[in-house]
Amino acid sequence: MFAFVSGNFVVVSRQCFVLLKTKVNSVAKTNHILILNLAAADFLTGVYLLTVAIHSVKFSGVYCQMDKEWRTGSTCAYLGFLNSVATETSVVMLVIMTSVR
């Protein structure tokens, strides 16, 4: 999971650097923006997975007692929202990239 998060962070930073520092034509710029958005969405997915893994370790052996508190808590709601946004963004970016190419 750390590789997933760090790898996507590298892609996001590299795409930002390319967009800000180099002159590219409009087709290449569009491609860089789409890759940037896809990497950002995948980065959010990695953050989601990392947070769920941390909470899994935290609740290990006591989840049955913490079940209602976890599912009604703000962390669970935030993670659900984060996962939905990241997943939908990834799908949309892949559809757009496929259509453009």
> What residue type is 89 in one-letter code?
T
pLDDT tens string, the chain, 101 residues long: the values are 677 788 888 888 888 888 888 787 888 888 888 989 999 999 999 999 999 998 888 888 887 887 888 888 898 999 999 999 999 999 999 999 898 87
Specify the pTM: 0.83
Rounded Cα distance between 31 and 43, Å, is 18
Q: How far is CA 95 from the centre of its chain?
A: 17
Domain boundaries, the chain: 2-100
Relative orientation angle of helices 63-72 and 74-100, to the nearest 10 degrees:
70
List the alpha helices (DSSP H) in 1-101: 2-21, 26-58, 63-72, 74-100
pLDDT number for residue 7: 87
Tokens of 63: 């989840």
